[in-house]
Amino acid sequence: MAKDTFFQKKTTINAGGKLIDMTLPKVMGIINTTPDSFFADSRKTETDAILQQAGNMLSEGADFLDIGAYSSRPGAADISIQEETDRLLPAVEAIVKEFPAAVISIDTFRANVAETAIKAGAHIINDISGGSLDENMFATVASLQVPYILMHMKGNPQNMQALAEYDDVFAEVYDYFVKKIYALKQLGVHDIIIDPGFGFAKKPEHSYALMNRMQEFERLQLPLLAGISRKKMIYGLLGATAAEALNGTTALNTVALMKGANILRVHDVKAALEAITIFKATTLGYNS
């Protein structure tokens, strides 16, 4: 067997009957229907503002829209399932109606919220807890047969930073993925995307250690998402703020692409696509 065919990385997902090829990197635009997400410009709580943001991102070339209604910044307040649903559902319904071709991801760790959103027209479940905060999540994903973004985190948004201790962060995150992927596949989940969870229960040094070894996640043979946009690991290092972190985000997104990222989850779609264009010219050859 040829060396380069031993591992067959999965490069496609089925999102609502649409087969999406991730051989070339894709961009996921972030829309937060929360009043307290860490980056102020990402907060869109009114339907008109949500639709405008969605339209802007799609026109700039976003492949996915990731809609969240529960702030997962460190120390964010917990909210009820009902409040999360009340924030999320109108946004999903409005985007489905206005942009029927859009591929929508739902950023939630709650199975009931995820199921409600998928039935309203969303396509992908993005779970920061990897099923750890809702024991019904894996079964729900299997029942719905939708792509699942499996992220690494310890604890919950309220206490995760107190749990940011590791002997070997890469080994722990890798082992976590192996166990969770096995459980999902046993339930018949076909489309899994992995996300190392930069900044979630991780100090900046942990996040950079993961980035340094991110190409080693290729052994899991699954698409890889990098969610680093405007995070403290960037602006803290640069002595800046989240609002001033676009240049640093673009630089680190480029590193992530070189390390094998298939999806960039970002606040700034145009800048991410420019990074991908440069990356493609570098790796696949210049084509003006």
Active site members: 231, 265
Separation CA 197–CA 102 (nearest Å): 25
Kindly report the number of other CB atoms within 10 A of residue 98's CB atom: 14
Q: Is 8 exposed, middle or buried (0-12, 13-18, 19+ CB in 10 A)?
A: exposed
Q: Which of 208, 212, 216 is nearest to 178 (CA)?
A: 216
Whether 218 contacts 9, CB under 8 Å:
yes
Rg of the chain over Cα atoms, rounded to whole angstroms, equals: 18
Whether 7 contacts 210, CB under 8 Å:
no
DSSP secondary structure string for all residues of 131-185: TSS-TTHHHHHHHHT--EEEE--SS-TTTGGGG---SSHHHHHHHHHHHHHHHHH
Tell me 59's DSSP state. H
Separation CA 177–CA 268 (nearest Å): 28
Kindly report the number of other CB atoms within 10 A of residue 251's CB atom: 14
